[in-house]
Chains A and B, each alone.
Chain A
């Protein structure tokens, strides 16, 4: 069915280290994936997306990796900064459904 979940609900990293946030999805028909960042008291903010015909996409300090074989998505944040503290959600679109399904989220905390 359409379900997206995350391996870890919380992640703590040292400032300056790289962060890796993981996501597992269950629907092999999903063709588009997005990472969102949600800061406390705010709505989700788009970070980066990737289509199913790609396995890697890079943005500014962020990289998304897609492994369709094991239905796994990850978000890598380079040189994590205090401003990266937030809850990160992966979301998937099932081809033809035109509906974005969000995962549960991972809370990223930065240790000084």
Chain B
């Protein structure tokens, strides 16, 4: 079964450092999402791509977060500088259409900022 690959699984960093997360969605899935999930809460959408274009980044803290999907396949989410409040699970998801409810999630990247 095709899976969404994410790396790293775990990242510990000090505040003010830069961190980056990578996601490789299921082949052929044009829509890619980055969600942030704080412990005990539901995922919150940070950014949505359709192919290489950003569809929604209204919840992305653009002063420190950036996301790209240059070739419309894999994607990178960057945080610079990291803050204590950024500690969370960063989930990548994909879907085959512009929007479908059936999102396929990766295992996530857990970030701890010290």
> Which of A41, A43, A99, A104 is within 8 Å of B105, CB to CB?
A43
Question: Contact between B102 and A103 (Cβ–Cβ < 8 Å)?
Answer: no
Docked pose: A46 CA to B4 CA in angstroms = 14
Question: Mostly helix, strand, loop or mixed at chain B's interface?
Answer: loop
Given A102-B43, A104-B41, do A49 and B101 touch, yes or no (CB 8 Å)?
yes
> Which of A46, A89, A99 is within 8 Å of B48, CB to CB?
A99
For chain A, the bracket of interface size reads 20 to 34
Docked pose: A4 CA to B42 CA in angstroms = 10
> Which of B40, B56, B107 is within 8 Å of A98, CB to CB?
B56
The stretch from B67-75, B79-87, B91-99 touching chain A is B91-99
Docked pose: A101 CA to B102 CA in angstroms = 13
Residues of A whose CB lies within 8 Å of any CB of B are 4, 32-34, 41-46, 49, 89, 91, 93, 98-105
